[in-house]
Amino acid sequence: MQTRAMSEVVSNILLILITIAAVGLIASFIIPFIKDKLNNGTQCFDLKDYIQLEDLGKNCYNTENTSFSLSRGLEEQDISKIIVSLFSEGEGKKFEIINGKFAGVKMIKNGVYQENLEIPLAGEAKTYQLAMAGNKITVSLESRGKTCEIVSSNLAKC
């Protein structure tokens, strides 16, 4: 009888060890997967207050153009481009602000509109003009390959 009782104890210990090993193996795959998904989800949340439409008296539209000012937060973030969507009477158009040139977008610098664009640096504000009239604007940021919608606002006539 003693040998039989001993084999039941050994089999129970082996079952417990196999269960612990299985849980460890499953956890080693699931925990990194969940961490990656949580990091992707919080990426846009971190950028929520990072860029804003500043009302410097320039956020308006006329029959040909739309002007707006963007300010950037003090914290340094990896921003590759700013995507501006402009809407008017059921029609929309996307403009990209990157360092360089983009058709239909001008930036004011030293009181003069120019075609050489710059993304605002941390703590800066810049004013842009789009070659389209629009009464609603949506600003998105592209950061680390992900696009996050940040702010949306209605614009007044100039």
Q: Which residue has the tokens 């696009």?
A: 147
Element at 12 (helix H, strand E): helix 2-47
Please, what is the average pLDDT of the chain?
A: 81
Residue 142 pLDDT exceeds 70:
yes
Of 10-14, 21-25, 82-86, 99-103, minimum mean pLDDT range: 99-103
* Strongest mean pLDDT among 13-27, 31-45, 75-89, 118-132: 13-27
pLDDT reported for residue 22: 92
- The type of residue at 88 is S
Domain ranges within the chain, ordered by starting residue: 1-47, 51-157
Q: What's the pLDDT score for residue 2?
A: 53
Q: What is the pLDDT of residues 92-139, one digit of tens each?
A: 888 888 777 776 788 888 778 787 888 888 888 888 888 888 889 888
First vs last C-alpha separation in the chain: 97
Contact 86, 95 (CB under 8 A): yes
Residues counted in the chain: 158
Reported pTM: 0.66
Closest-CA residue to 128 (of 80, 40, 60): 60
How is residue 56 annotated by DSSP? S
**Residue 16, pLDDT score:** 93
* CATH code of domain 51-157: 2.60.40.10
What is the phi/psi pair of residue 126, to 5°?
-135, 150
